[in-house]
Structure 1
Amino acid sequence: MNNNIINQQSATLEQPRVLEVKNLCKTFEMGRGFKRSQVHALRDVSFDLHSGRALALVGESGSGKSTVARLIMKMYEATSGEISYAGQSVLGEHSSTEALAYRRAVQMVFQDPFGSLNPAHRIFHHIARPLLRHGHISDKSELKDKVFSILSQVELDPQINAYKFPHQLSGGQRQRVALARTLAVAAKVVLADEPTSMLDVSIRIDVLNLLKRMKDEQGIAFLYITHDIATARYFAEDIAVLYQGQIVEWGASAQVIDNPQHFYTKLLLSAVPDANVRFDEISPEQDFYLHSAAQIRQISGQSCSEIKQIAAQHFIREHDFSALNQ
């Protein structure tokens, strides 16, 4: 079974495909002279994004999740592979008009919203500027109403917040401003890189619910990058588990989480706290993964081209775990 099966799987979905990543590889050159080395950050990563649907890219820090997003945003140059938007390749050189259209259509929301907001400008400016730059306002007399409308869509009271500076908002409010900017340019694809990880637990669900409304009501395609497999299931219809730059298991969220088949996915899930179990109690299964973690990681990090289909929308890479003492 070939390495592009994740793309073949998504072709059966009803929602239109807007962005395709195919056999994407990224190698970083490290050091100088005789101390030069290579880091293979991504290895043959393939997936599709569909309108009104979310794919959660799940993995630990350093797995390559953010590298995927930065390649899609053309912040890095791919070593090999293909990225297509609306059926057209986005790699290589393009005219300024084409580049601007792509930046408008594909937006990124960062983990730290404060870092993407100019502290010298009020919130009104952060929403008004993309509206004007991308031609979504033909008459400046409409600008205030449009800005206020967008702020209301992300549940920020415009009368209270429009003329504040970023430092006067909470982390959750700043993340809402970042999401409002994607609405201002009418983005078709949003790459959300750990959008709730720096927020208080009490407000994470509110931001996730806002993302769901944007997905359902605006038809935005989301790549939801996270280390939190629980929020991945809540928000995303599909999950791809990434380890050392390689997707090891992917498919419908419910299937991947309720019936994990790759040992690395099982390892991730074994670390998720269970509210029904005392913190000092360890099940035999948890004990196994606790003591086998290093070996599971070592095997999962090996390149593997063999893919096994578990169900209609569920696949794994067939790493050989026969050496594990189960």
Structure 2
Amino acid sequence: MNASDLKRYDRQIILPEIGIEGQRKLNNASILVVGAGGLGSPLLLYLAGAGIGHIAIVDHDIVDESNLQRQILYNMTDIGKNKANVAVDKLRLFNPDIQYTAYPLKLSPDNAAELIGQYSLIIDGSDNFPTRYLVNDTCVALNKPLVFGSIFQFEGQVSVFNYEGGPDYRSIYPEPPLPDQLTNCGESGVIGTLPGIIGSLMANEAIKVICHFGEVLSGQLLIFNALNNNTQLFRFSTPPKKPLSNSAKNGHKTKYTSINIEDLGVWKVNNIQYQLIDVREAYEYEEYNIGGWNISLYDLNDHLNDLLPQQRLVLCCSAGTRSKIAVQLLRDKFEGLLFTLIIPSKSIQSV
């Protein structure tokens, strides 16, 4: 650290919980922030202020005038521009000594593993349930800690998932709401100060996770109500884990084979029986599928007795992440009979 760093970060370095060593951890950390909107705006400013070494932002949205009520990174001259790109430009002016990466694209099952896999900590400031579940499931698959926040009208939530073996998002919200239950800020409204409060709390949790001090909100859901200043802290636990098989205890990796749609066609011609299980969510399956049985990843344990143990089992999803998690869940019952398949493009007909 040079003299400029010592001066810039002096107020947090003198904290015994951080010190020089903690500042080095912050400087060496890499964070991917999903969403540069209401929550992303304040948390990005505080992450840059803290000296996070590498901050990456993924957001495909553009700045709209209705955003300016709460998304404090932007102003009138930014309307119509991509949020990730504008955010990086603003943060460089604020702290030019750290690395920034903008991903002006939509996080999807096709790119989630590649993007999330590059960073040591993930922060989810998205505003929709499909993205939240995608981020969570990818972090679980790649063993990445996840700082989470959400806002609705006057209420905000903060937690830390998948931290040092702790529970994940599905521990408290196992399944997404039905389509007719979905709402967003555009439909229900949100007080402009709320994302500032919740975003700041998210940044605070990120700093604690990186520097390893204080009590991290792992296994805890903090809920803040801006109407009455009421704060509640709910505790939740990790779901019971399935015992390891003998092969796993002995250090052997679970065996599976990656196949493609053509392999299924060959099996069908040769009358080879197999079970095709699509482990995506129901809304994804309804949008497009290649047939088979739709059992969401986190419902698999409830359907173990419905699967034939002596028949090949093909687990498919959009990017391969969830099917590989499913392999671990099913390794005891289907050792040697497990296959994974990435769902091909919509132009491929069902098998």
Larger Rg: 2
Q: Which bracket does the TM-score occupy, shorter chain normalised?
A: under 0.3
Q: TM-score, normalised to structure 1's length? A: 0.25
Report 1 or 2 for greater relative contact order, CA contacts < 8 Å, sequence distance ≥ 6: 1
Q: TM-score, normalised to structure 2's length? A: 0.24
Structure number with the higher strand fraction is 1
